[in-house]
Structure 1
């Protein structure tokens, strides 16, 4: 399993030396970021180990990404200065939007990035994805959402509030429709033991 990610999927991604030149706050080992991804404010972004970020992903604002995280093509992770935290073993499918900032739609302020801040009333709140969360394609995660450990969000759902651990959520807004099994936790333990034995080191994200 030595350098599995780099050996299997290196075409079209930045080299490790190139990643170091981008200027991330921190970046771990075995990180694959597509050359077609767009990164704004790299100094506010930290990335753990064994992470893959695919084509046309947008990363901007304050973002913390753990280890063994995948962000699928055409997703938008906008942390603003509120911040987004994506912990270990999370999976974000294609076309997902995780937005820690939104315009005020009430009409009491102006909107859109072309307007100076003093005329706007943007809503900013931190978003956290705990370990083992997975988000289905084309879903939307809005400010102040909290995805508890093991939460799965079905495709084309919208999350606007806190969730409870190990549930499957679906809909607009997303509601808990089913319990999610915790077999993942046993597999995680076995995986890490084998991975560490083969790699000769840990996986600490930071």
Structure 2
């Protein structure tokens, strides 16, 4: 009886944490969308502003809300980071995708295959086509990641969209971050890394252990640190990846 009660309590506790993640992900998705628009020099109009409120009252409210956000943000974002790691340990493709899509608001093609062991940062800024994501991927979506159809990420690939400025006296990120785009049929090999603001062209290959610091040309094969073009790839690729192909269950 005690064991049964324990599992019931544990179930509702996990459900509660997932609900918190869902609410926070919705808030951050809207916030980041506005940030991306602002960074692209687009004007954001606030249609909810009430000009009849006294200025002092609005200032006090904004001050308190700012304090609450500054206190709660590290906890909530840290919870999402932790839950993404926990979701990566769930032994089911369907459950992993369901939780990523519905709790963390990640856009995922129905036929995408996502193997376990991953860590996903800011999943609400990530859009996956009909792709295959290998075991142990690290996807940093803070500034956005977009993968088109038939992209293959091998084991332990890392994609970063934010990095620190080594010359900044306070070690801030400044403007070093940016979106990563991976076009159709690209192949990112094991233990390779893609840094911010990189576009991987259609059919391009990033070899094992390589680090992409600049854009990769379509159908080019790149290797080394930093990655440099070493050859060309067949540009008549016809394969399709995704659910209709065989994959390892539970894994």
TM-score, scaled to structure 1: 0.66
Give runs of aligned pairs for residues 140-159 of structure 1, distance below 5 A: 140-159=193-212
Higher strand share: 1
Higher CA-based Rg:
2
Segments of structure 2 that go 5 or more residues without pairing to the other structure are 1-89, 245-251
Structure 1 partner of 2:156: 95
Does residue 75 in structure 1 map to residue 137 in structure 2?
yes
Which structure: greater helix fraction? 2
Indicate the residue corresponding to 1:134 in structure 2: 187
Q: 1:58 aligns with which of 119, 127, 144?
A: 119
Following superposition, the deviation at residue 122 of structure 1 comes to 6.2
Structure 1 runs, 4 residues or longer, greater than 6 Å off: none
Return closer, same or farther for 1:175/1:42 CA change in 2, 3 Å cut-off. same
Structure 1 gap segments, 5+ residues each: 1-10, 26-40, 112-119, 196-206
Alpha-carbon contact 1:57-1:71 (below 8 Å) kept: no
Tell me the CA shift for residue 106 of structure 1. Answer: 1.6
1:13 counterpart (92, 109, 126): 92
The 3 A distance-change label for structure 1 pair 170 and 51 is: same
Give the corresponding residue for 1:24. 101
What secondary structure is seen at the aligned counterpart in 2 of 1:101? Answer: coil
In 1, the alpha carbon distance for the partners of 2:219 and 2:163 equals 27
* RMSD after superposition: 2.4
**C-alpha distance in 2 between matches for 1:19 and 1:177:** 36
Structure 2 distance, partners of 1:15, 1:78, is 22
After superposition, the Cα gap between the structure-2 partners of 1:105 and 1:134, relative to the gap in structure 1 and judged at 3 Å, is same
